[in-house]
Amino acid sequence: MATQHSRSAARLMMTPAVVLLLGWMLVPLLMTLWFSFRRYLPLRGGDLGWAGFDNYVRFVTSSAFWPSVQTTLILVGGVLAITIALGVLLALLLDQPMWGQGVVRILVIAPFFVMPTVSALVWKNMFMDPVNGLLAHLWRFFGAEPVAWLTDVPLASIVLIVSWQWLPFATLILLTAVQSLDSEQLEAAEMDGARPLSRFAHIILPHLGRAITIVVLIQTIFLLSIFAEIFVTTGGAFGTRTLTYLIFQRVLESQNVGLGSAGGVYAIILANIVAIFLMRIVGKNLDR
Amino acid sequence: MARAVKSQRKVLNTGLAWTIGLVIFFPILWTILTSFKTEAEAIASPPIFLNFSWTLENYAVVQERSDYMRFLINSVIIAGGSTVLGVIVAVPAAWSMAFVPSARTKDILLWMLSTKMLPAVGVLYPIYLLFIRLGILDSRVGLVIVVMLINLPIIVWMLYTYFREIPGEILEAARMDGAGLREEILYVLTPMAVPGIASTLLLNFILAWNEAFWTLNLTAAKAAPLTAFIASYSSPEGLFYAKLSAASTMAIAPILILGWFSQKQLVRGLTFGAVK
């Protein structure tokens, strides 16, 4: 159907987007790769020459590396688990007949539109502050000692903040999927005497499979590079340093570009391993 | 009898859903309420919910002291500019992929999405350095370009999804009637594509408005948008809860309202139409 003429026109129309993204990908990537093999300390003499694999070895063997990987995995895994579990339950609830469904929906999805810096600051100061925070008031009201959230349970606190931001997204996607569920099939199962739990496990959950993979995909992409929430709340202290944050500190705070770049290459490799898995799933969805 | 059970369940659902909804919304509500209190009322113990003397003073102070308008304008320019620029680049690309697909279209689409997985922090310093060399560090132009590029894959995907849903029969019918390429684009395809383009603009404006990594790291004073402005409140000054709340409310209000209007498109856009 497409003529030779329209094909070359199409190629021309695609060129700007392809060239821009190729440049965006390749130029900084090659520079990062180059720096990662240099001893590059902008504030202490600049580029001091070839370093071989020194930076790579130093980054992996530094005492901060494995904890940061662990923190990253806990953060991503924790937020995914919370948002998907609660998201499924909330989506099922919101699908039930009720009054003011539209308004409830608006209330539930609101956090998704709140800037990460705002949500981090509001949670840090107005809720988690051990003196004036609302949670401290609540604890005192019940006669308990207030928790110093961001110093005593810092990682859990950040997981809570980030989950609050992403629960709306998971709920919204899952709700859309729940609404496309075939109600006749559910009724038939009910007639056959299937209990609610088995209806959930055998009909609802498999139906939500695709939506859940999409939620995992999108959230993982964004969660692997969480930055503002940590920057504003703990600044990477108290064991909340993710891989992203560790690299940020090496490059910008301690101005060791070579070392940070080696870390960057590791982060890129990690992201790509995750991406390959996730892309397969999206690719399958495309084939439909 | 069954009816009574049904309406009882409806009452239960309503109560439960509203409770959960209000709990989730509460931090935002609390921020908005606090923005109208005096500083003393904001940290009063026990906390005051509604019976305080409403004041607009915080908003005036925030604007006066830190030139909120400048940050707002930066946010509007960066989010708006990157979105418009992105759509200009993405529409032709998505268009040709949707209507003149080749064997490699799918590969190109997946490759584009894969650039989204490039961890920003991994390439921060090169971009930082390039920006210094080009003299666009801490400039709106620089941020417009970066934010446009990070959202470009999503824009292309969204538009591709929308364009593919335009039925081919209509196009063929127009061709049979003797419409040329120009007529085809102007009178047939454009009217059908406009809603998709509008949703894409909206969603990307929201994403760009809230983008924090690059805005925090590539701006200092001149081009800092609201995300960076709010982060400056993490200093001890941020302990002024009422002012922090006023600043926060002003930063999120525009996008919250936009977001509520576009919730339907959000699902389609963010999942590339894979969830219906």
Tell me the C-alpha distance between A172 and A143, whole Å. 37
Average pLDDT across chain A, whole number: 84
- Please report the pLDDT score of residue A286 as a whole number: 54
Q: Give the predicted TM-score (pTM) of the model.
A: 0.87
The 10s digit of each residue's pLDDT in A101-132 is 888 988 998 899 998 888 988 898 888 877 77
The pLDDT value recorded for residue B122 is: 81
CB-based burial, B106-137: b 16+ in 10 Å, e otherwise? eebbbbbbbbbbbbbbbbbbbbbbbbeeeebb
Longest distance between any two alpha carbons in chain B, whole Å: 77
A123/B27 CB distance under 8 A: yes
- Position A242: which residue type? T
d(CA B89, CA B94): 9
B110 phi and psi angles, rounded to 5 deg: -65, -40
Closest alpha carbon within chain B to A139? B46
Residue B276 has pLDDT above 80, yes or no: no
Give residue B238's pLDDT band: very low, low, confident or very high (50, 70, 90): low
Q: Which residue has the higher pLDDT, B216 or B267?
A: B216
Most confident segment among A33-42, B35-44, B202-211:
B202-211
Work out the pLDDT band at B81, boundaries 50, 70, 90. very high
Beta carbons of A93 and B13 less than 8 Å apart = yes
pLDDT > 70 in chain A, percent = 95
Q: Which domains does chain B have, with CATH numbers?
A: 66-232 (1.10.3720.10)
- When the pLDDT of each residue in chain B is averaged and rounded to a whole number, the result is 82
CB contact under 8 A, A132 and B45: yes
Task: Name the band, by pLDDT with cuts 50, 70 and 90, for residue A285.
Answer: low
For the ranges A86-95, A193-202, B145-154, the lowest mean pLDDT is seen at: A193-202
Q: Which residues in chain A touch residue B212, judged by CB atoms under 8 angstroms apart?
A: 115-117, 227-228
Nearest CB to B255: which of A113, A167, A225?
A113
Rounded CA separation A229/A122 (Å) = 11
Mean pLDDT value across residues B260-271 = 75
A48 inside 8 A of chain B by CB: no
Task: Give the model confidence (pLDDT) of B196-208 as tens digits.
Answer: 888 888 888 888 8
- The mean pLDDT of A268-274, rounded to a whole number, is 83
Contacts of A64-72 with CB under 8 Å at 24 or more apart are A64/A241, A64/A246, A65/A246, A67/A239, A67/A241, A68/A241, A68/A242, A68/A243, A68/A245, A68/A246, A69/A243, A71/A155, A71/A239, A71/A240, A71/A241, A71/A242, A71/A243, A72/A224, A72/A242, A72/A243, A72/A244
Looking at this predicted complex, what is its ipTM?
Answer: 0.85
* Residue B29 φ/ψ region, left for φ over 0, alpha for ψ in the -120 to 50 degree band, beta for the rest: alpha
Reported as a single tens digit per residue, the pLDDT across B93-110 is 888 888 888 888 888 888
Q: How far is B140 from chain A (nearest CA, A)?
A: 18
Higher pLDDT among residues A53 and A1, named by residue: A53
Contacts of A11 in chain B (CB under 8 A): 96
Record: contact B119-A267, CB cut-off 8 A: yes
Residue of B117, B206, B232, B266 to mutate, interface with A, max A Cβ within 10 Å: B117
d(CA B270, CA B200): 10
CA dist B178 and B176 (Å) reads 5
What are the extents of the domains in chain A? Answer: 62-287
Q: Is the pLDDT of residue B18 over 60?
A: yes
pLDDT of residue B173: 79
pLDDT at residue number A7: 79
pLDDT band per the 50, 70, 90 thresholds, residue A220: confident
Q: Which of 3.30.565.10, 3.40.50.720, 1.10.10.520, 1.10.3720.10 is the CATH number of A62-287?
A: 1.10.3720.10
Q: Which of residues 130-189 of A touch B (CB under 8 A)?
A: 132, 134, 137, 141, 164, 167-169, 172-173, 176-177, 180
Report d(CA B254, CA B259) in Å as an integer.
9
Query: B213 and B143 in contact (C-beta within 8 Å)?
Result: no
